[in-house]
A and B are shown apart, each in its own frame.
Chain A
Amino acid sequence: MSLSTPKSDWRAGIERRLTRTREFVHDTDPEALGVVLVSMGSLLAAFVGFLLASPWTAVPLGTFLIGTGYGWARHQALVARAVTFAMTTVTLVTLGLIVVFIFAESIPAFRYETASAFGVSVPGLGMFAQARWDAVSEPVRYSLLPMIHGTVMVTTIATLVAAPLGVAAALFIAEIAPPRVRELVKPGIEILAGIPSIVYGFIGFTVINPWASDAFALNGGSTYLFVGMVVGLMALPTVVSVAEDALTSVPDVMKNGSLALGATDWQSMTSITLPAAFSGVSAAVLLGVGRAIGETMAATVMLAGVPRISEPLVNVFYGYETLTSLIARGYGSANGVHESALFAAGVVLFVTVLCLSVASQYIEARMRRRLGGAE
């Protein structure tokens, strides 16, 4: 066994799969098989037709509906299995389509902003090597640095708000609160997640911005400080619910052992529950950071909309533009390379948040393995 190389393993796997398929085909009613093949094939054809924007897409789509309907009546089990499989692939296909389309649309901007480093010309380097974004007057440049700076400012402040408050609230719900209070606080925090971001933005625009302008004698009321606080409030429910899941997944035996030794609740929390759930809690914070990076409407409505880096760099009293608000504000009036540059901003956002999501999933999986829980 130890002699088998990866290659022969791979070949054996294919062979095993082939044999299984052959057996499956042999065992199944040929008519059912035909119906499933027709319906899946027409679904694939409809998808390809839609991708090519063909007006004939309706034909395979109709075939799929009729075929599946007929199969549903006659061979429900097999058709159900095939259809649910097709539905499962939708998530993969969607993610793939998002990647392909957003990257494809952003290529012109990356090409336009080619700059050379050490004699090698790198497409897109110009977006990060200088700090001028001006789509109208010469020289037209599309640097993303001002917006990245804005996003970093907002996200940092939001994390400073959401992470400590979120973890404290999660501890409260998972460990401290008596059952009746928990039944009140938990839905309350869920509802906080439901308040639409544009409502936050509207309050920010009509109440907070004028107040800030007055209270700090600013030119205009857009501040990274208050946008960050509002975004932190929006990211808070994400942190709370994920961290609470992590805290409750720590087995009670561990906490009970600590309490039986005479430790106080707080000692058990800080020396047993929090360390055991540490990965889950940090995953929660990462997801909260992701939420804060992607938050759009409050930033769009409350920020000034001028792509500029604040002076000095940490000046939180003035807010200019983030990656998300740049897209929301500029899309529609932009075209050509400018529009493509907005897609480039989307690529930066998407890649960052996807990395955060994958990292937090990895951390969570590691925690589940370590706690030896289910799955």
Chain B
Amino acid sequence: MSRATQTALVRDDRTAYEAAAGLAVGLSGVAFAVGLAALLDVVSIDDPVAGVELPVAFGAVLLALGASVVAFGAVSRLDYVDTGPQPSAGLVAAAAFTAIWFAVGAAVSGALGLGTVGRFGVGAALAGVGFATTAFPREDVGSTVPAGVVAALCGLALLSGVVGPGWERPLAGYNATLFGDTVVPVVVLFASLVTGWSGAKAYGGFGARGRNVGAYVLIYLVVGSILAVLVGLVAFVTAKGLPGLFNGFGLGGASLLRWPFLTNGAGLLADIAGVFPALMGTIWLVVGAVLFAVPTGVGAAVFLSEYAEQGRFTGAVEVATNGLWSTPSIVFGLFGAAFLIPRFGNQKSLIAGMLTLGFMLLPLVLITSREAILAVPDEYRDASAALGVSKWQTIRSVVLPAAIPGVTTGVILGVGRIAGETAPILLTMGGGVLPAKSAAPNVMTGFRLSTSPPFVSNPALLEATSALPYQLYALITAGLSGNIQNPQEYAWGLALTLLLVVLVFYAVGIATRYYFRRKLHQ
């Protein structure tokens, strides 16, 4: 096309247009953020903004956005500015607007009191109109007019008060009611998404560049909201859990550090109820699972990548490993209950939990170790072999040390994952809802030797033991009540403790990876 000869310098006439489109995108972003805040009840929908109610303000903004988006299309179509639209907006956009207009038609005719057939008919008719206006005209019209009209309709509905704070609509047969408080923010979120995308396309001058900008705006929005959810979740649990976690916390005094929530049990003797037994249970669980899974997984990875010839056996192991990796945790729990519990004293026990989690950890360790060993360059092995070193010596003193960073990272991340697992230990390990301090497992001093089989025993391993995730579950099923002062605060403190334990594992694992990667690139 002739655009190939144009450079940015000769597109001066578009700056005002670009600025207007950029403004529309920015305004859509603001509307999206405020709509999200209203949905999450951060901003009340009844609050007046600059003298008008929030829904009315939303309506005005959406109407303006819709009108300006249509105007962008018209200005471009009438060649007042130099853009590079393609003959059609494309099938993906056409499909999206067909669906959107179908929904609009169905919702509006439903609100007017039409039956199912009527709703379907109106929806289908509008869907056809939406498809035609998107797919058939040139791209600058096709990707602005349907979008702008939708947003303007939403804006009109809010502005005229058809949908507002007091609005409600029972869903016949669903036994549920839609209220203005939820519908208004959802409408705003949806309409601002549409205008944001359309405005971004106009900003890019339609065509390939416009699509690029439009898609990037949506993707940045998605990633931004995922990160916002993550930060919001962690911040929320932290804010709710801090009072419980630091209840009675103090520095100095008789003992250097007093942290009753982590060092107390929950019995009658403890003045401040704590999670010590569950914390110890989680620590021992992790230790047991690591002792079982890490040597096994690393050994298997060594055999698969260094000794075994690629064939049916390695293929089967690979399929089995990936199958185990994706097996639901509750199935591991069932397996532990059916296989391990009858073999360890016929009751829920710490060791059954350890081994069940070990089985879950095994595929994670195996997959990551194998990747780490395969990533060791073959030159290392060849150099060692050229020096006359035997195969096993090469593995032990060349391959494994070089693979240790990857293996360590994999193990730490895997441990972080199993430390928070609830379903398997729910079925295999059990424990009390609010265990006293004496219920904490005492594995180290528990080993007993005897002359009759099985010769070695450890009662601590054979007892039902609580762990952090299980205790949280048990508290929830007990209705967040119990024989302690403030069960709500206790439960949130427990959730924060669990989250911190897991996040510390993840932080250490990710930090290790960066540390080793930086060392490698030096």
Q: Report which A residues bind B (CB closer than 8 A).
A: 50, 53, 55-59, 62, 76-77, 80-81, 83-85, 87-88, 90-92, 94-95, 97-98, 101-102, 104-105, 164-165, 168-169, 171-172, 176-177, 185, 187-199, 201-203, 205-206, 215-219, 233, 236, 262-267, 287, 290-291, 293-297, 300-301, 311-312, 315, 317-318, 324, 327-328, 331-332, 342-343, 346, 349-350, 353-354, 356-358, 361
What's the Cα separation between A97 and B323 when bound, in Å?
Answer: 13
11 contacts between A and B (CB under 8 A): A97-B335, A168-B222, A176-B216, A177-B223, A191-B503, A193-B417, A215-B182, A216-B177, A217-B179, A287-B326, A328-B427
Q: Which of under 10, 10 to 19, 20 to 34, or 35 or more describes the interface residues of B? A: 35 or more
Contact partners of B37 in chain A: CB under 8 A: none
What's the Cα separation between A91 and B319 when bound, in Å?
Answer: 10
User: Is B149 located at the chain interface by the 8 A CB criterion?
Assistant: no
Known contacts A76-B392, A91-B366, A266-B216; A98/B331 CB under 8 A: yes
**Contact (Cβ within 8 A) B506 A349:** no
**CB nearest neighbor in B for A177:** B223
User: Is B413 located at the chain interface by the 8 A CB criterion?
Assistant: yes
Which of these, B218, B233, B302, contacts A84 with CB under 8 Å?
B302
**Contact (Cβ within 8 A) B330 A296:** yes
**CB nearest neighbor in A for B455:** A58
**Contact (Cβ within 8 A) B222 A169:** yes
Known contacts A95-B324, A262-B4, A343-B338; A88/B304 CB under 8 A: yes
Which of these, B331, B359, B495, contacts A199 with CB under 8 Å?
B495
Which of these, B390, B495, B498, B506, contacts A191 with CB under 8 Å?
B506
**CB nearest neighbor in B for A318:** B175
Other contacts beyond A192-B230, A301-B476: 11, CB < 8 A: A77-B390, A91-B366, A92-B317, A168-B222, A172-B223, A176-B216, A199-B499, A202-B491, A317-B176, A331-B333, A349-B328
User: Is B334 located at the chain interface by the 8 A CB criterion?
Assistant: yes
Q: Report which B residues bind A (CB closer than 8 A).
A: 4, 171, 173-179, 181-182, 208-209, 211-212, 215-216, 218-220, 222-223, 226-227, 229-230, 233-234, 236-237, 295-297, 299-300, 302-304, 307-308, 316-335, 337-339, 342-343, 359, 362-363, 366, 390-393, 395-396, 413, 416-417, 419-423, 426-427, 430, 452-456, 469, 472-473, 476-477, 480, 491, 495, 498-499, 502-503, 505-507, 510
**CB nearest neighbor in A for B177:** A217
Which of these, B182, B220, B317, B506, contacts A88 with CB under 8 Å?
B317
**Contact (Cβ within 8 A) B300 A90:** yes
Contact partners of B363 in chain A: CB under 8 A: 91
**Contact (Cβ within 8 A) B472 A198:** yes
Known contacts A87-B300, A296-B328; A215/B212 CB under 8 A: no
Chain A CB within 10 Å — which of B209, B330, B422 has the most? B330
**Contact (Cβ within 8 A) B476 A263:** no
What's the Cα separation between A291 and B342 when bound, in Å?
Answer: 29
What's the Cα separation between A324 and B421 when bound, in Å?
Answer: 14
What's the Cα separation between A357 and B321 when bound, in Å?
Answer: 10
**Contact (Cβ within 8 A) B338 A102:** yes
What's the Cα separation between A297 and B423 when bound, in Å?
Answer: 7
**Contact (Cβ within 8 A) B218 A168:** yes
What's the Cα separation between A102 and B472 when bound, in Å?
Answer: 27
Chain A CB within 10 Å — which of B4, B219, B229, B507 has the most? B219
Contact partners of B413 in chain A: CB under 8 A: 190, 194
**CB nearest neighbor in B for A184:** B227
What's the Cα separation between A201 and B475 when bound, in Å?
Answer: 12
What's the Cα separation between A311 and B419 when bound, in Å?
Answer: 38
Contact partners of B328 in chain A: CB under 8 A: 293-296, 324, 349-350, 353
Which of these, A57, A92, A217, A262, contacts B316 with CB under 8 Å?
A92
**Contact (Cβ within 8 A) A349 B331:** yes
Known contacts A88-B308, A293-B328, A312-B173; A176/B417 CB under 8 A: no
**CB nearest neighbor in A for B307:** A81
